[in-house]
Structure 1
Amino acid sequence: MGRPPLDRQPNTRLAYWMSRAHMGNNRLARLITERAAAQGITGIATDESRVRAWLKGTVPRDPVPRLLADVLSGATGTDLTLADVGLPGETGPTGIRSPWTRTGALTSLSQIIRSELMLPDTRTGPDAADVLTSNDLLAPLQEWLLSQPDDADTARPGHRIGMSEVDGIRQITTAFRDLDNRHGGVLSRSAVLAQTDTVLTLLKTSTYTEAVGRELFSAAADLASVAGWMTFDAGRHTAAQRTFVSALRAAAEAGDKRIGAHILQCMARQMSHLGHVDDALDLVALAQYGARRDLTPAAASMLAALEARFHAITGNTADSEAAAARALDAYERVQPTAEAPYMAFFDLPELQATLGMAHQIAARHLDGTARTRHVRRSADLVQQALDARPEHRRRSKAFDHLGLARTHLAGSNPDAAAEETARCLQLLGAVHSRRVTDRLGELYREAEPFTTTAPGRDLREQIHDRLTTPTGPGI
């Protein structure tokens, strides 16, 4: 029948593709047997019990895995690898070190999106241990600097598409960004993954001019960056990183350094969130250098502001303040109508909040009057950001309240911190974000020295009650 894996798990990927093909156990067994006979392979007599065993985690012997993938490929119209159907074997060029070509971009992005669509939605726990870091991450990404788009294959058969389809993809991407801003990435992640898969099918099966192809890859990269961001916000860190890298490949195929820099800053935020701050700084530097001839004032300001925050985390307060000054200088040159839609989030409140957090983090490395100065500056900037935030930026507002709470704790003011925590928690009925949960956990730990005070105990009790309710972990 086959060999059981050492740690047998149900093959959810095989079950997914059988469902997509509307195929039961008996029919799959029969088609595999028929395909083997058609290819002159003897000794293959698959039955329903064998398929049932595969679904439970048993791995069939060669050549059955390839026959199984071929049958499901034909039934679904999708070129499936053995990995796609949950079996060991070839996976295709999905690794971070695979060639930066058009085929590599499409295959890499298709397989990570398809993989995420197949996984059960309940698998939302952190998996940060498998995230690539240091040279394993940065060295392959250097190729983004030198990558050049392939020529479009305009001769293949397929429906011809033009700029109207590109415009439609960009409108859909804007709608998903708005959902993410309003409600976080947890609820809409599956929808944006499915939409990205649809766009990839367009890229692989349609015909288009070289100019349209560039715009299509750029739009696909932008949409995939939203998919990666929502996946990051949902706490699926390894999948988020793979999606970001695949989106960067699509950006390279588009020859679009600006969207490439945007994707790299998303990756930098993820690395900082996971505690890999040196990697975050390297990713910012890669974005700044790789897009140096194409950076708009808003992008330059955003990258410098992130640099200020990351330097503050490492304790380099002088470098942090220098980067903050560059961010403010660049922002003075911003013309919103000249910026790409994906930069719309980086407005003055976002800049103020980012720099406010840099001051708060810096305060924790200092004492005396220097600490007091940074605390005051942080509170002023984050409050200004909160007051000016658009109403639909609910997750950002939640982060602002959390930022103010942490700033007040840095200034030894647990009363004000407890008030801001309560305001943050009021927003969480409409916001579902693992990143917010993580930040609440940090605030909970930072408030531990204040448990001798009533406000300090109240703050921690509010967070504890929220995170231990049945709906808490889904925030």
Structure 2
Amino acid sequence: MARREDRAFYVHPLSVVRADRGWTQQNLVDVVARRLGNAGNGRQKAWRWEHRGVTPDRPSQLALAAELGVPPERVRQEPWPCWLPDGDPVRTDFGWTQPGSISALEDAVEHGMRDRRGFMKLTGAALVGLAEEWLRIEPSELAAAVRGGQVTHAFVDRLEDGVPRLRFLEAERGGLRARQLISAELGMVVEVLDSSSYTTEIGKRLFALAGELSRMAGWACFDAGLHAAAQRYWTAALHVAHAAGDRTMGANVLKSMSLQCYDAANHREALALARSAYEGAGQTTPRARAMFALREARAHAALGDPAACERLLGEAEHAISKSGPADEDPPWLGYFDGAEFWAQVGTCYLDLSRARHRSEHSAKAEAHLERTLQSLPRTKIRDRATYVTRRATAQAQLGELDHACHLLTEAIPLIQQAPSRRNTQHLLTARASLPLNKRDRRVRELDEQLTELELAS
């Protein structure tokens, strides 16, 4: 059971504003009404602003801004909800140096665990600019730091030995439960980097370890729906990967950031990040190149560009055919097996079907996702929930609504075993896309179980 503070989850900048001032949604509506000099409405208006993406009219925005002390010029210059005072920004202004990387890590460790914002803070030019800056800068040689005790290779070995356990824990138990342990481990490595002495070679290993732990912490937050915290950790991880001189690790961080944009339907930003990852990965293994090609292919698919998507799928298939033993790959690439490859291909066709409304794309998505689930190890519970849900969407696109409902029902106990706010949201989205109303016998029981799942998450 997650602790109470883990459930303080802000789905919208307005949620942060209300929490800071102790307002209920009715209080918010009353404040706006008082400023406008009218009788106001029920709390449903504020609920729609927070949960349904409804934009308040300009008078309501200006009234709220006046209550919050925000100048009206800012309301006119910035779109809703960007002008709301919703907490500290996610910093990106760290130097691409060893001290800058340590500062980025310290910022992530200090603020990441307390950041409950379930929405992205970095968007648009700031987000894409971070990727482009990383793509241009060449790593400088690490200088040995002389600040404390001498770090040995054996000590770093022990730190590295714990990473597979943390990966397994996050995949098995979900990001909300694992992120505290990952962040604690990261904090210890940051302390070693900041207060110890080590050779250039050991320094590179420490930075690489900190980069991977920061990426994992970001992924755990992303899985838990804590998107601003995820961006903090990933920004730090990108700087640290640069300090470690590891282009492939940096590309993997950008790949994760691209997926976050994809989930938020910011598809052009997702494409820019995925392209930077693919182009900037440097000398890496064929399996890694296949993974990066697939991430860019998914962004093109979401944008409805079948030609670019098919080209990248071809590049990914060619690369995976050249891959050698798994021990030649970076350790973090262990998840990318045959089942994952086919899952990503199937997702591309699923997105093309959404964008282009062509049944052949739905049929290809169904075939690839069925193949995925047949070969996916039973131990990968969270992944199975993800791909069962995607297959349900493919079945719905093919008009097989009974099978789609059955698959969505099948996903519920999997999410209960491996809790994931991300999977829960995907499941709710898939249900909402079914052309069935609540009175239909095929979805009555499903909807009851989904309501319980949503409340539990």
TM range (shorter): 0.7 to 0.9
Q: Distance in 1 between matches of 2:265 and 2:362?
A: 22
Q: Distance in 2 between matches of 1:244 and 1:8?
A: 26
Deviation at 1:312, TM superposition (A): 1.4
Q: Distance in 2 between matches of 1:360 and 1:253?
A: 38
Contact 2:214-2:234 at 8 Å conserved across structures: yes
1:298 to 275, 284, 287: 287
- The residue number in structure 2 matching 1:365 is 355
- The residue number in structure 1 matching 2:320 is 331
Supply the AA of the counterpart residue of 1:216. Answer: L
Q: Distance in 1 between matches of 2:116 and 2:409?
A: 26
Moved more, 157-166 or 293-302: 157-166
Q: Distance in 1 between matches of 2:450 and 2:193?
A: 46
Contact 1:173-1:226 at 8 Å conserved across structures: no
1:278 to 268, 286, 289: 268
1:375 to 348, 359, 362: 362
Deviation at 1:304, TM superposition (A): 1.3
**3-state SS of the aligned residue for 2:94?**
coil
- Provide closer, same or farther for how the CA distance between residues 94 and 149 of structure 1 changes in structure 2, counting only shifts above 3 A: farther
- The residue number in structure 1 matching 2:212 is 222
1:134 to 124, 131, 137: 124
1:96 to 88, 92, 95: 92
- Provide closer, same or farther for how the CA distance between residues 125 and 211 of structure 1 changes in structure 2, counting only shifts above 3 A: closer
2:170 to 180, 184, 190: 180
Alignment of 1:88-237 (within 5 A): 95-117=91-113, 119=114, 124=116, 126-128=118-120, 131-145=121-135, 146-154=137-145, 156-237=146-227
Deviation at 1:387, TM superposition (A): 1.4
- Provide closer, same or farther for how the CA distance between residues 317 and 157 of structure 1 changes in structure 2, counting only shifts above 3 A: closer
Contact 2:90-2:231 at 8 Å conserved across structures: no
Supply the AA of the counterpart residue of 1:152. Answer: A
- Where in structure 1 are there 5+ consecutive unaligned residues? 1-5, 11-90
- Provide closer, same or farther for how the CA distance between residues 139 and 111 of structure 1 changes in structure 2, counting only shifts above 3 A: same
Q: Distance in 2 between matches of 1:124 and 1:421?
A: 28
Moved more, 303-312 or 348-357: 303-312
- Cα deviation, 1:216-251, whole Å, max 9, x if unaligned, reads 101110111101110111111111111101011111
Moved more, 294-303 or 144-153: 144-153
Deviation at 1:283, TM superposition (A): 0.9
Are residue 424 (structure 1) and residue 411 (structure 2) matched? yes
Moved more, 259-268 or 157-166: 157-166
Are residue 397 (structure 1) and residue 377 (structure 2) matched? no
- Provide closer, same or farther for how the CA distance between residues 366 and 274 of structure 1 changes in structure 2, counting only shifts above 3 A: closer
Alignment of 1:4-19 (within 5 A): none
- Cα deviation, 1:359-394, whole Å, max 9, x if unaligned, reads 112122334xxx222222111111111111122211
Supply the AA of the counterpart residue of 1:438. Answer: Q
Contact 1:181-1:395 at 8 Å conserved across structures: yes
Deviation at 1:151, TM superposition (A): 3.5
Q: Distance in 2 between matches of 1:306 and 1:443?
A: 21
Q: Distance in 1 between matches of 2:363 and 2:91?
A: 46
Supply the AA of the counterpart residue of 2:143. Answer: A
Supply the AA of the counterpart residue of 1:238. Answer: A
Contact 1:228-1:244 at 8 Å conserved across structures: yes
Contact 1:181-1:392 at 8 Å conserved across structures: no
- The residue number in structure 2 matching 1:249 is 239
- Provide closer, same or farther for how the CA distance between residues 450 and 266 of structure 1 changes in structure 2, counting only shifts above 3 A: same
Deviation at 1:466, TM superposition (A): 2.5
Supply the AA of the counterpart residue of 2:378. Answer: E
Contact 2:94-2:101 at 8 Å conserved across structures: no
Supply the AA of the counterpart residue of 2:384. Answer: K
Deviation at 1:345, TM superposition (A): 0.8
- Cα deviation, 1:430-474, whole Å, max 9, x if unaligned, reads 211111111012112101446575324554444234324xx2x2x
**3-state SS of the aligned residue for 1:344?**
helix
- Cα deviation, 1:388-418, whole Å, max 9, x if unaligned, reads 1122211100001101111111111110011
**3-state SS of the aligned residue for 2:416?**
coil
Contact 2:405-2:446 at 8 Å conserved across structures: yes
- Provide closer, same or farther for how the CA distance between residues 287 and 365 of structure 1 changes in structure 2, counting only shifts above 3 A: closer
Q: Distance in 2 between matches of 1:177 and 1:266?
A: 15
Contact 1:94-1:111 at 8 Å conserved across structures: no
- The residue number in structure 2 matching 1:467 is 454
- The residue number in structure 2 matching 1:265 is 255
- Which protein is bigger by CA-based radius of gyration? 1
- Cα deviation, 1:40-70, whole Å, max 9, x if unaligned, reads xxxxxxxxxxxxxxxxxxxxxxxxxxxxxxx
Contact 2:117-2:227 at 8 Å conserved across structures: no
Q: Distance in 2 between matches of 1:174 and 1:9?
A: 38
Deviation at 1:8, TM superposition (A): 10
- The residue number in structure 2 matching 1:445 is 432
Deviation at 1:341, TM superposition (A): 0.8
- Provide closer, same or farther for how the CA distance between residues 453 and 112 of structure 1 changes in structure 2, counting only shifts above 3 A: same
Deviation at 1:103, TM superposition (A): 0.9
Q: Distance in 2 between matches of 1:364 and 1:94?
A: 33
Q: Distance in 2 between matches of 1:361 and 1:450?
A: 24
Length, aligned pairs only: 373
Deviation at 1:132, TM superposition (A): 1.2
- The residue number in structure 2 matching 1:407 is 394
Q: Distance in 2 between matches of 1:315 and 1:458?
A: 34
Contact 1:375-1:411 at 8 Å conserved across structures: yes
**3-state SS of the aligned residue for 1:188?**
helix
- Cα deviation, 1:313-335, whole Å, max 9, x if unaligned, reads 11112221221121111111112
Contact 2:144-2:203 at 8 Å conserved across structures: no
- Provide closer, same or farther for how the CA distance between residues 414 and 459 of structure 1 changes in structure 2, counting only shifts above 3 A: farther
Task: Using the aligned pairs only, state the percent identity.
Answer: 27
Contact 1:102-1:150 at 8 Å conserved across structures: no
TM-score by structure 1 length? 0.74
Are residue 307 (structure 1) and residue 296 (structure 2) matched? yes
Contact 2:251-2:278 at 8 Å conserved across structures: yes
TM-score by structure 2 length? 0.77
